[in-house]
Amino acid sequence: MTAKRQRIPNKPQILTTTVGSYPVPEWLSALPSEQAVIDATRVVFDMQRQAGIDLPTDGELYRFDVNHPDTNGMIEYFISSMEGISTAIGRSDTETFSKKQSMGFRNKPAGIVTGALAEGSLDLLTDCKRAASVSGGAFKFTVTSPYMLSRTLLDNYYGDFEELTLAVARVIADQMPGLPCACVQVDEANIPGNPADAPLAAKAMNIVLDKIKGEKAVHFCFGNYGGQTIQSGNWKALVHFLNSLHTDHLVLELAHRPPSDLNALKHIDSKIDLGIGVIDVKVNHIETADEIAQRIENAEKKIGKGRIRWIHPDCGFWMLKRSVSDRKIEALVKGRDKYLGR
């Protein structure tokens, strides 16, 4: 049976959404099962809908791995499933990867490319259908950018980083048709610190974006591990890159960024809707409605009235406690409503 096409609400003027990950419930980690993942996903959706989030995410619990409960599977879920990649990593592999210095915060590769990349056991359609079965309405489904994935690999086959990145992009792109969600978001946390690779990253990401039916979003942040920023850089250096993406809207980290970063967004093409981060996920402080309303007001003063279509947290919540995440989600809606006078 064909899934009913989901649609994003067309009002209010500024919509609320979350970025993707949610803290893994302790009871799921303690007693994991297929049914437990479904039940946890239902809880994540219901919590967001009760808070008033317009476009919730599934918490990325489809990536949950009992062997790695402390991560959100942003890399390993995709890498470990692909044909042509080995996750049996030895000492010499780790040494070779570390010499590349492609990812300073990672001391070993996520996988070793040993042959031509192919789908393997990767099955985003089934995972998205599972989320849709308990979503209770329109939702956003997230996938990791091919550029970010390729930077975690030790390539023993292609011998060319661009060829490898485009091969990853084609595998991810082939997963996009038929996803039963209102929006697909591509996540990228590496390019902000590597602007020289922007043309390649855009080429690879557009291969994926062009296969998405419905709303397309791209999320960019400067990384988050243990509340620490991983990438340096600024949005000004990426304006041309952002304008080259075949996306409907951007999901940008801004709450944990200097106020000057807002200036660059004035130069984003008007055909691309802007989403701004107004919740800082790197701190436990629960933003007040006044703080969030003020952040929206400050952004609209610099970017232009009516340019902001979305507000959201800077990034996913997986490193925070649920008690903190839930209150930040509630605050997001209250702050938007206060700004709009609802």
Domain boundaries, given as residue ranges, for the chain? 15-335
pLDDT score of 68: 67
β partners of residue 21: 59
Q: Which of 221, 237, 179 is nearest to 317 (CA)?
A: 221
27 Cβ contact partners less than 8 Å away, ≥ 6 residues apart: 36, 40
Query: What backbone torsions phi and psi does residue 38 show, to the nearest 5 degrees?
Result: -65, -45
Please state, in angstroms and rounded to a whole number, the distance separating the CA atoms of residues 335 and 327: 12
pLDDT score of 221: 82
Helical axes 322-340 vs 34-51, angle rounded to 10°: 30
Decide: 186 and 209 in contact? Cβ < 8 Å.
yes
User: CA 338 from chain center: how many Å?
Assistant: 27
What is the phi-psi region of residue 99: left when phi exceeds 0, alpha when psi lies from -120 to 50, beta otherwise? alpha
pLDDT digits (tens, 9 = 90+) for 273-308: 999 999 999 999 999 999 999 999 999 999 999 999
191 secondary structure, DSSP code:
G
Quick check: helix, strand or coil at residue 229? coil
pLDDT score of 2: 43
Task: Supply the CATH classification number for the domain 15-335.
Answer: 3.20.20.210
Element (H, E) at 172: helix 161-173
Q: Which of 189, 199, 208 is nearest to 246 (CA)?
A: 208
pLDDT score of 275: 97
Residues of the chain short of pLDDT 50, as ranges, are 1-3
Decide: 340 and 292 in contact? Cβ < 8 Å.
no
Please state, in angstroms and rounded to a whole number, the distance separating the CA atoms of residues 306 and 273: 10
Note the pTM of the prediction, 2 decimals: 0.93
N-to-C CA span, the chain: 39
pLDDT score of 71: 62
Please state, in angstroms and rounded to a whole number, the distance separating the CA atoms of residues 9 and 15: 8
Decide: 24 and 61 in contact? Cβ < 8 Å.
yes
Q: Which residue has the tokens 């929006």?
A: 183
Please state, in angstroms and rounded to a whole number, the distance separating the CA atoms of residues 152 and 22: 23
5 secondary structure, DSSP code:
P
